[in-house]
A and B are shown apart, each in its own frame.
Chain A
């Protein structure tokens, strides 16, 4: 039986028991009221008999008063008959006490007869002696009726007390026992389910409930499981979303800060050669006016150098922007081609400074990467080796080594240049950082460009620098899954 059905049965039994108890109480109260009416009937009959005795001793007949007394007597049987319902009649018939009802009817008929005699007397159709005789008979009938009424009513009340009270007690006990049983079955179901769920926390709830719990409890638990799962998923989703938003906010904040810093430094460094050029132009004007053409010429050369600086800076800023936007077209690369291309670009400087170049490249294994990024990395590292050579050394040197082992390419670019000051190695890959202001020929963006490309290719770069030179080691995995074009 379903829990809701069991609970409904408990409610029905309780209502039934209470109704029966209340009905019994009303029935007993009705029996008591019948006794009261019978006593009242006897009282009015006594008053009526007393009045007849006074009339027999000579008192004048007062028909109205006599009619009022008879009417008072008539009220009690009428009230009794009105209070009796079908159930009462059935019970009384069953226990054979229904003669009380016949007595009531007879009493009403006797009263009506007395009232009729009084009416005939008032109309002059009945003599005083006839009236008194009829009233005397009625008074005697009223007494007889009262006596005849009392016994069956007493027996009826007794019957009710002896049967209904034990019945009420019995029904109550039965009810209590049924309710206790139903409650216990509900409690056991709940306890059993709780114990079952507590036993094995690893199996899914639905699997655990299978064959063990049924009906509404199972429906409740299944609905709860669905709801808990949904809540958990929502909470998990919210946590993920919050984390995502926090990460993105942090990333955007960092990007924003970097962009602001970049804009500031870029605008500063772009403006600086222009400001210098403006000053130098003024000085050229003064020098020409003073006739100092030699100084004017020197200043014109200085302007050219400032323009070179500006040009380099613009080129590097564009390269840095391209590093972000570059199409990562992965191709099979040949490092010897890349290095040759870079060397060709710097051939004039290398020859002029008498730099010794050592190249050791093994292109024996197929290696795939974004060529344009690798070219810029090699170009910037070689450029730095050329720019920041140590003029105190008789022979500047740069070596480039490329090896591929199990899809991991390792590029080493080593020079015997000025090295990077030990206290500034943490700033190595930051934008607009120049470590040798006394040379100051770079834009300060070269290694930032290198780092950007390295990050975009998910590669790694390490730097080892001292007073005897600098060595950069790039480790890059051959791309296997994102080849867009094969060359």
Chain B
């Protein structure tokens, strides 16, 4: 693939910025979408056909970095709604990486209930190589 499409869903602008910079440091060709809340992300993903046309070859994203604590629709709410969206549109190539400050085992276990959640990244505890491995594994 010539370009890897990624969606960052996080209400914290700084965290989105830091992750975006770290992703860019992988040196891989990337298209990065950003959404400040689960609700906005669901809206983006629900407009499947329109966005496929708008972002030809770059939509849907293959990797979704999902924060858990967000004000309007949190990470868990997003996963439940994304499950419904996946039943309507072809998101079989999209996987989710939970991207959060929490390292509680119960949060990890809750994420594992969704088969499209493939990894768990704790903010401040990852490096560029890890991100590169995740992108290439999802591709």
Contact = CB atoms under 8 A, between A and B. Distances in A.
Interface of A: 264-265, 268-269, 271-272, 274-276, 278-280, 282-283, 286, 302, 305-306, 421, 424, 433-435, 437-438, 440
Given A271-B102, A279-B19, A282-B22, 8 more contacts: A264-B102, A272-B123, A275-B101, A306-B14, A421-B72, A437-B71, A437-B72, A440-B13
B52 interface: no
Q: Which 7 A-B pairs have the closest CB atoms?
A: A275-B124, A279-B18, A275-B123, A278-B124, A276-B14, A271-B101, A437-B71
A276 B25 contact: no
Interface in B16-32: 17-19, 21-22, 25
A274 B122 CA distance: 12
A265 B68 CA distance: 11
B36 A437 contact: yes
Contacts of B71: 433-435, 437
29 contacts: A264-B102, A264-B104, A268-B102, A271-B101, A271-B123, A272-B15, A272-B123, A274-B124, A275-B101, A275-B122, A278-B124, A279-B14, A279-B18, A279-B19, A279-B124, A282-B18, A283-B22, A286-B21, A286-B25, A302-B14, A305-B14, A433-B71, A434-B71, A435-B71, A437-B11, A437-B70, A437-B72, A440-B11, A440-B12
B118 interface: no
Contacts of A302: 14, 17
A433 B123 CA distance: 21
A268 B101 contact: yes
Most buried by A among B104, B122, B124: B124
A437 B39 CA distance: 12
Most buried by B among A264, A276, A280, A440: A276
B46 interface: no
Contacts of A264: 102, 104
Contacts of B104: 264
A302 B125 CA distance: 19
Contacts of B123: 271-272, 275-276, 279
Contacts of A433: 71
Contacts of B122: 275
A278 B126 CA distance: 11
A280 B14 contact: yes
Contacts of A438: 36
Interface string B75-111: 0000000000000000000000000011010000000
Interface string B60-71: 000000000111
Interface residues of B, number: 24
Contacts of A276: 12, 14-15, 18, 123-124
A474 to B, nearest CB: 25
Contact of B18 (A268, A274, A283, A305): A283
A347 B36 CA distance: 32
A272 B12 contact: yes
A275 B15 contact: yes
Contacts of B14: 276, 279-280, 302, 305-306
Contacts of A437: 11, 36-37, 70-72
Nearest to B19: A279
A52 B102 CA distance: 138
Contacts of A271: 101-102, 123
A424 B37 CA distance: 15
Given A278-B124, A302-B17, A437-B37, A272 B101 contact: yes
A454 to B, nearest CB: 23
A318 B103 CA distance: 24
Nearest to B127: A282
Nearest to A270: B101
Nearest to A272: B101
B5 to A, nearest CB: 22
Nearest to B126: A279
Nearest to B102: A268
A369 B16 CA distance: 46
Contacts of A278: 124
B75 to A, nearest CB: 12
Contacts of B37: 437
Contacts of B17: 302
B128 to A, nearest CB: 10
A256 to B, nearest CB: 16
A279 B72 contact: no
Nearest to A298: B17
A424 B19 CA distance: 29
